[in-house]
Amino acid sequence: MPIRQTIDGNVLVITMDRENKRNAIDMDMAIGISTALDRLDDDDDLWVGILTGTETVFSAGSDMNGGVQGRTERGGEYGLIRRHRNKPLIAAVEGPALGGGFEIALACDLIVASTTARFALPESRRGVVANSGALFRAPRALPIHIAKQLLITNMGLTAERAFQFGLVNIVAEPGDALRQARNLAGEICQSSPIAVRQTLAAIASQFAEADDRGWEATARAIEAVKASEDMKEGINAFFERRAPQWSGR
Protein backbone atom coordinates (compact mmCIF):
# COMPACT_ATOMS: atom_id res chain seq x y z
CA MET A 1 0.00 0.00 0.00
CA PRO A 2 1.37 3.46 -0.86
CA ILE A 3 -0.05 4.93 2.37
CA ARG A 4 0.45 3.36 5.79
CA GLN A 5 -1.36 4.34 8.99
CA THR A 6 -0.04 3.76 12.50
CA ILE A 7 -1.73 4.78 15.76
CA ASP A 8 0.42 5.67 18.76
CA GLY A 9 -1.87 6.65 21.64
CA ASN A 10 -3.74 9.72 20.46
CA VAL A 11 -1.44 10.26 17.46
CA LEU A 12 -2.03 9.03 13.91
CA VAL A 13 1.13 8.63 11.80
CA ILE A 14 0.50 8.67 8.04
CA THR A 15 3.40 7.42 5.93
CA MET A 16 3.76 7.99 2.20
CA ASP A 17 5.58 4.86 1.03
CA ARG A 18 6.15 4.91 -2.70
CA GLU A 19 9.89 5.46 -2.59
CA ASN A 20 10.57 4.00 -6.03
CA LYS A 21 8.54 6.94 -7.41
CA ARG A 22 10.01 9.42 -4.92
CA ASN A 23 6.64 9.41 -3.15
CA ALA A 24 5.10 11.21 -6.12
CA ILE A 25 1.36 11.47 -5.59
CA ASP A 26 -0.95 9.60 -7.94
CA MET A 27 -4.69 9.04 -7.48
CA ASP A 28 -4.22 5.99 -5.24
CA MET A 29 -1.91 7.92 -2.93
CA ALA A 30 -4.25 10.92 -2.82
CA ILE A 31 -7.15 8.64 -1.85
CA GLY A 32 -4.95 7.00 0.79
CA ILE A 33 -3.93 10.33 2.29
CA SER A 34 -7.51 11.55 2.22
CA THR A 35 -8.81 8.39 3.89
CA ALA A 36 -6.22 8.66 6.65
CA LEU A 37 -7.02 12.33 7.24
CA ASP A 38 -10.74 11.53 7.29
CA ARG A 39 -9.92 9.13 10.09
CA LEU A 40 -7.95 11.80 11.93
CA ASP A 41 -10.74 14.33 11.53
CA ASP A 42 -13.55 12.00 12.55
CA ASP A 43 -12.08 9.92 15.39
CA ASP A 44 -12.41 11.74 18.71
CA ASP A 45 -9.63 9.60 20.19
CA LEU A 46 -7.11 10.93 17.65
CA TRP A 47 -5.77 14.34 18.62
CA VAL A 48 -2.71 14.89 16.38
CA GLY A 49 -1.59 13.69 12.98
CA ILE A 50 1.91 13.27 11.56
CA LEU A 51 2.46 13.06 7.81
CA THR A 52 5.82 11.69 6.72
CA GLY A 53 7.59 10.06 3.81
CA THR A 54 10.40 7.56 3.69
CA GLU A 55 13.96 7.91 4.95
CA THR A 56 15.25 9.34 1.67
CA VAL A 57 12.39 11.45 0.32
CA PHE A 58 9.32 13.26 1.61
CA SER A 59 7.57 13.76 -1.74
CA ALA A 60 8.36 14.93 -5.27
CA GLY A 61 4.78 16.20 -5.68
CA SER A 62 2.46 15.14 -8.49
CA ASP A 63 3.16 11.97 -10.41
CA MET A 64 3.74 13.50 -13.84
CA ASN A 65 3.19 10.09 -15.44
CA GLY A 66 -0.20 9.75 -13.79
CA GLY A 67 -1.88 12.09 -16.24
CA VAL A 68 -4.35 13.55 -13.71
CA GLN A 69 -3.48 15.24 -10.44
CA GLY A 70 -4.86 13.26 -7.51
CA ARG A 71 -7.78 15.09 -5.87
CA THR A 72 -10.48 14.04 -3.46
CA GLU A 73 -13.81 15.65 -2.69
CA ARG A 74 -13.07 16.27 0.96
CA GLY A 75 -9.40 17.15 0.74
CA GLY A 76 -8.79 18.63 -2.68
CA GLU A 77 -5.35 18.16 -4.23
CA TYR A 78 -3.46 15.21 -2.72
CA GLY A 79 -6.40 14.64 -0.36
CA LEU A 80 -5.02 17.42 1.83
CA ILE A 81 -4.43 20.80 0.20
CA ARG A 82 -7.96 22.25 0.48
CA ARG A 83 -9.07 20.28 3.50
CA HIS A 84 -10.72 22.17 6.36
CA ARG A 85 -8.97 20.73 9.41
CA ASN A 86 -9.12 21.55 13.10
CA LYS A 87 -6.66 18.98 14.44
CA PRO A 88 -2.93 19.68 14.24
CA LEU A 89 -0.99 17.99 11.45
CA ILE A 90 2.80 17.82 11.61
CA ALA A 91 4.95 17.24 8.53
CA ALA A 92 8.02 15.10 9.32
CA VAL A 93 10.39 15.68 6.41
CA GLU A 94 13.41 13.62 5.41
CA GLY A 95 15.00 14.36 2.04
CA PRO A 96 13.45 16.41 -0.77
CA ALA A 97 10.03 18.06 -0.54
CA LEU A 98 9.68 19.35 -4.08
CA GLY A 99 6.86 21.12 -5.88
CA GLY A 100 3.63 19.60 -4.63
CA GLY A 101 5.63 17.85 -1.91
CA PHE A 102 6.59 21.25 -0.53
CA GLU A 103 2.98 22.39 -0.91
CA ILE A 104 1.91 19.40 1.19
CA ALA A 105 4.29 20.54 3.94
CA LEU A 106 2.99 24.12 3.64
CA ALA A 107 -0.56 22.80 4.15
CA CYS A 108 0.44 21.24 7.48
CA ASP A 109 0.41 23.16 10.78
CA LEU A 110 3.98 22.41 11.88
CA ILE A 111 7.11 21.13 10.15
CA VAL A 112 9.92 18.98 11.58
CA ALA A 113 12.73 18.53 9.07
CA SER A 114 16.00 16.64 9.21
CA THR A 115 19.19 18.16 7.87
CA THR A 116 18.71 16.03 4.73
CA ALA A 117 15.55 17.96 3.83
CA ARG A 118 15.38 20.32 0.88
CA PHE A 119 12.36 22.47 0.02
CA ALA A 120 11.91 23.75 -3.55
CA LEU A 121 9.25 24.81 -6.04
CA PRO A 122 10.60 23.94 -9.52
CA GLU A 123 7.34 24.44 -11.43
CA SER A 124 8.52 27.51 -13.37
CA ARG A 125 11.34 25.39 -14.82
CA ARG A 126 8.62 23.24 -16.38
CA GLY A 127 6.63 26.15 -17.79
CA VAL A 128 3.88 25.94 -15.19
CA VAL A 129 3.01 27.60 -11.87
CA ALA A 130 2.64 26.13 -8.41
CA ASN A 131 -1.03 25.14 -8.28
CA SER A 132 -1.54 23.61 -4.82
CA GLY A 133 -1.41 26.62 -2.54
CA ALA A 134 2.21 27.76 -2.70
CA LEU A 135 1.37 31.00 -4.55
CA PHE A 136 -0.19 32.32 -1.35
CA ARG A 137 1.05 30.00 1.42
CA ALA A 138 4.74 30.46 0.64
CA PRO A 139 4.57 34.30 0.88
CA ARG A 140 2.61 33.90 4.11
CA ALA A 141 5.12 31.50 5.68
CA LEU A 142 8.33 33.11 4.41
CA PRO A 143 9.79 36.58 3.80
CA ILE A 144 8.29 37.80 0.54
CA HIS A 145 11.56 37.99 -1.40
CA ILE A 146 12.50 34.46 -0.34
CA ALA A 147 9.08 33.19 -1.39
CA LYS A 148 9.41 34.90 -4.77
CA GLN A 149 12.86 33.39 -5.27
CA LEU A 150 11.52 29.90 -4.57
CA LEU A 151 8.53 30.37 -6.88
CA ILE A 152 10.43 31.65 -9.92
CA THR A 153 13.68 29.68 -9.68
CA ASN A 154 14.66 26.13 -8.83
CA MET A 155 16.69 27.36 -5.86
CA GLY A 156 15.65 25.63 -2.67
CA LEU A 157 15.94 25.90 1.10
CA THR A 158 17.82 23.63 3.45
CA ALA A 159 16.18 22.68 6.71
CA GLU A 160 18.51 25.01 8.61
CA ARG A 161 17.71 28.01 6.43
CA ALA A 162 13.99 27.20 6.52
CA PHE A 163 14.28 27.11 10.32
CA GLN A 164 15.93 30.53 10.32
CA PHE A 165 12.99 31.94 8.37
CA GLY A 166 10.47 30.35 10.74
CA LEU A 167 9.09 27.85 8.23
CA VAL A 168 10.50 24.80 10.05
CA ASN A 169 9.78 24.33 13.75
CA ILE A 170 12.47 21.77 14.59
CA VAL A 171 15.62 20.68 12.74
CA ALA A 172 16.50 17.04 13.40
CA GLU A 173 19.49 14.85 12.69
CA PRO A 174 19.24 12.59 9.61
CA GLY A 175 16.69 9.85 10.18
CA ASP A 176 15.31 11.51 13.31
CA ALA A 177 12.53 13.72 11.92
CA LEU A 178 9.73 11.28 12.73
CA ARG A 179 10.92 10.71 16.29
CA GLN A 180 11.13 14.46 16.86
CA ALA A 181 7.68 14.88 15.32
CA ARG A 182 6.34 12.24 17.71
CA ASN A 183 7.87 14.19 20.60
CA LEU A 184 6.22 17.38 19.35
CA ALA A 185 2.91 15.55 19.01
CA GLY A 186 3.33 14.36 22.58
CA GLU A 187 3.76 17.96 23.71
CA ILE A 188 0.54 18.91 21.91
CA CYS A 189 -1.28 16.00 23.55
CA GLN A 190 -0.49 17.51 26.95
CA SER A 191 -2.89 20.32 26.02
CA SER A 192 -6.67 20.06 26.00
CA PRO A 193 -7.71 18.68 22.59
CA ILE A 194 -10.75 20.95 22.60
CA ALA A 195 -8.60 24.00 23.29
CA VAL A 196 -6.16 22.98 20.54
CA ARG A 197 -8.93 22.47 17.99
CA GLN A 198 -10.62 25.76 18.81
CA THR A 199 -7.29 27.59 18.65
CA LEU A 200 -6.53 26.22 15.19
CA ALA A 201 -10.08 26.93 14.02
CA ALA A 202 -9.81 30.53 15.21
CA ILE A 203 -6.50 30.98 13.37
CA ALA A 204 -7.87 29.39 10.19
CA SER A 205 -10.95 31.62 10.20
CA GLN A 206 -8.73 34.70 10.09
CA PHE A 207 -7.17 33.53 6.82
CA ALA A 208 -10.31 32.15 5.16
CA GLU A 209 -10.99 35.18 2.97
CA ALA A 210 -7.30 35.50 2.06
CA ASP A 211 -7.26 31.82 1.07
CA ASP A 212 -10.27 32.35 -1.19
CA ARG A 213 -8.47 35.24 -2.91
CA GLY A 214 -5.33 33.10 -3.13
CA TRP A 215 -7.17 30.29 -4.90
CA GLU A 216 -8.78 32.78 -7.29
CA ALA A 217 -5.37 34.27 -8.13
CA THR A 218 -3.93 30.78 -8.56
CA ALA A 219 -6.72 29.83 -10.95
CA ARG A 220 -6.05 32.93 -13.07
CA ALA A 221 -2.33 32.14 -13.22
CA ILE A 222 -3.04 28.53 -14.21
CA GLU A 223 -5.39 29.57 -17.01
CA ALA A 224 -2.89 32.06 -18.40
CA VAL A 225 -0.11 29.48 -18.37
CA LYS A 226 -2.31 26.81 -19.98
CA ALA A 227 -2.70 29.00 -23.04
CA SER A 228 1.06 29.44 -23.48
CA GLU A 229 3.52 27.73 -25.78
CA ASP A 230 5.97 27.66 -22.89
CA MET A 231 3.84 25.22 -20.91
CA LYS A 232 3.76 22.75 -23.78
CA GLU A 233 7.51 23.11 -24.23
CA GLY A 234 8.19 22.72 -20.51
CA ILE A 235 6.17 19.52 -20.21
CA ASN A 236 7.67 18.06 -23.38
CA ALA A 237 11.19 18.90 -22.20
CA PHE A 238 10.51 17.26 -18.84
CA PHE A 239 9.44 13.97 -20.38
CA GLU A 240 12.20 14.12 -22.99
CA ARG A 241 14.77 14.85 -20.27
CA ARG A 242 16.22 17.91 -21.99
CA ALA A 243 16.56 21.62 -21.31
CA PRO A 244 13.48 23.57 -22.44
CA GLN A 245 13.70 26.15 -25.20
CA TRP A 246 11.49 28.97 -23.99
CA SER A 247 9.72 31.30 -26.42
CA GLY A 248 8.18 33.57 -23.81
CA ARG A 249 4.78 33.11 -25.45
* Catalytically active residues, by annotation: 103, 123
Q: How far is CA 12 from the centre of its chain?
A: 17
What type of residue is 110? Answer: L
d(CA 45, CA 164): 34
d(CA 57, CA 17): 10
Which long-range contacts link 62-69 to residues 24+ away (Cβ below 8 Å)? 62/24, 62/25, 62/99, 62/100, 63/21, 63/24, 63/25, 63/26, 63/29, 64/24, 64/238, 64/239, 66/24, 66/26, 66/27, 68/27, 69/25, 69/131
d(CA 159, CA 162): 5
